[in-house]
Structure 1
Amino acid sequence: MTVDTGKTVVVFGGSGFLGRYVTQALTKRGHRVRIACRRPDLAYHLQTAGILGQVQPIQANLRYPWSVERAVKGADHVINLVGILAESGKQSFDALQSKGAKLVADAARAEGAKMTQISAIGADAEANSRYARTKAAGEAAVFAACPDAYILRPSIVFGPEDEFFNRFAEMTKFSPVLPLLGGGRTKFQPIYVVDVAQAVADTVDGKVAGGTIYELGGPEVLTFRQLMEEMLRIIARKRRFVTIPFPLAATMAKYMEYLPGAPMTVDQVKQLQNDNVVSDAAIAEGRTLEAFGIRPRTLDTILPTYLVRFRPQGQFTKPQRHAGGLDAENQDGLV
Structure 2
Amino acid sequence: MTTITETPKFAVVFGASGFLGRHVVRALAKRGWRIRAVTRSPGMPMHLQPIGNMSQIAPFQASVTLPASIERAVEGADLVVNLVGILYESGRATFDGIHHQGAKNVAEAAAKVGAKLVHLSAIGADLASKSDYARTKAEGERAVLGSHPDAVILRPSIVFGPEDQFFNRFADMARFSPALPLIGGGHTRYQPVYVGDVAEAVARAGDGALSSGAVYELGGPEVLSFRELMERMLKVIDRKRLLVSVPWPVAEIQGKVLGLLPKPLLTSDQVELLRSDNVVSSAAEGEGRTLAGMGIEPDSLEAILPSYLWRFRETGQFATKRAFARN
TM bin, normalised by shorter chain, reads over 0.9
1:282-302 C-alpha deviation (Å, 9 max, x unpaired): 111111111210000110110
User: Amino acid of the residue matched to residue 45 of structure 2?
Assistant: A
Root-mean-square deviation (Å): 1.2
Q: SS of the residue aligned with 1:58?
A: strand
Question: CA offset at residue 248 of structure 1?
Answer: 1.2
User: Amino acid of the residue matched to residue 98 of structure 1?
Assistant: H
Q: Is residue 2:253 matched to residue 1:264?
A: no
User: Amino acid of the residue matched to residue 52 of structure 2?
Assistant: G
Q: SS of the residue aligned with 2:185?
A: helix
Alpha-carbon contact 1:5-1:31 (below 8 Å) kept: no
Q: Is residue 2:34 matched to residue 1:32?
A: yes
Q: In percent, how many aligned pairs have the same letter?
A: 57
Q: Is residue 2:114 matched to residue 1:112?
A: yes
1:95 to 89, 94, 97: 97
Question: CA offset at residue 42 of structure 1?
Answer: 5.8
Determine the C-alpha separation between the residues in 1 that align with 2:266 and 2:44: 26
Alpha-carbon contact 2:258-2:264 (below 8 Å) kept: yes
Counterpart for residue 302 of structure 2: 300
Alpha-carbon contact 1:35-1:43 (below 8 Å) kept: no
Gap change, CA 1:42 and 1:173, over 3 Å in 2: farther
Determine the C-alpha separation between the residues in 2 that align with 1:220 and 1:40: 40
1:62-112 C-alpha deviation (Å, 9 max, x unpaired): 121110110001101100000111110001100100000000000001111
Determine the C-alpha separation between the residues in 2 that align with 1:44 and 1:111: 29
Counterpart for residue 133 of structure 2: 131
Determine the C-alpha separation between the residues in 2 that align with 1:12 and 1:148: 18
Determine the C-alpha separation between the residues in 2 that align with 1:34 and 1:54: 8
Q: SS of the residue aligned with 2:305?
A: helix
Determine the C-alpha separation between the residues in 1 that align with 2:219 and 2:53: 32
Question: CA offset at residue 24 of structure 1?
Answer: 0.3
Determine the C-alpha separation between the residues in 2 that align with 1:79 and 1:124: 22
Q: SS of the residue aligned with 1:194?
A: helix
Q: Is residue 2:277 matched to residue 1:275?
A: yes
Counterpart for residue 3 of structure 2: 2
Q: SS of the residue aligned with 2:23?
A: helix
Counterpart for residue 161 of structure 2: 159
Determine the C-alpha separation between the residues in 2 that align with 1:22 and 1:85: 20
Question: CA offset at residue 260 of structure 1?
Answer: 2.5
Determine the C-alpha separation between the residues in 2 that align with 1:221 and 1:209: 26
Determine the C-alpha separation between the residues in 2 that align with 1:183 and 1:143: 37
Question: CA offset at residue 54 of structure 1?
Answer: 0.3
User: Amino acid of the residue matched to residue 242 of structure 1?
Assistant: V
Determine the C-alpha separation between the residues in 2 that align with 1:245 and 1:5: 58
Determine the C-alpha separation between the residues in 1 that align with 2:229 and 2:52: 35
Determine the C-alpha separation between the residues in 1 that align with 2:132 and 2:100: 10
Alpha-carbon contact 1:233-1:319 (below 8 Å) kept: no
Determine the C-alpha separation between the residues in 2 that align with 1:82 and 1:238: 36
1:33-60 C-alpha deviation (Å, 9 max, x unpaired): 1111101336243121100000011000
User: Amino acid of the residue matched to residue 245 of structure 1?
Assistant: P
Runs of 5+ consecutive residues of structure 1 not aligned to the other structure: 321-335
Alpha-carbon contact 1:217-1:288 (below 8 Å) kept: yes
Runs of 5+ consecutive residues of structure 2 not aligned to the other structure: 323-327
Alpha-carbon contact 2:201-2:291 (below 8 Å) kept: yes
Determine the C-alpha separation between the residues in 1 that align with 2:3 and 2:98: 34
Counterpart for residue 188 of structure 1: 190
Counterpart for residue 250 of structure 1: 252
Trace 1:162-181 onto structure 2 (pairs within 5 A): 162-181=164-183
Alpha-carbon contact 1:62-1:96 (below 8 Å) kept: yes
Counterpart for residue 325 of structure 2: none
Determine the C-alpha separation between the residues in 1 that align with 2:27 and 2:273: 30
User: Amino acid of the residue matched to residue 62 of structure 1?
Assistant: V
User: Amino acid of the residue matched to residue 19 of structure 2?
Assistant: F
Q: Which range moves more in the overlay, 59-68 or 264-273?
A: 59-68
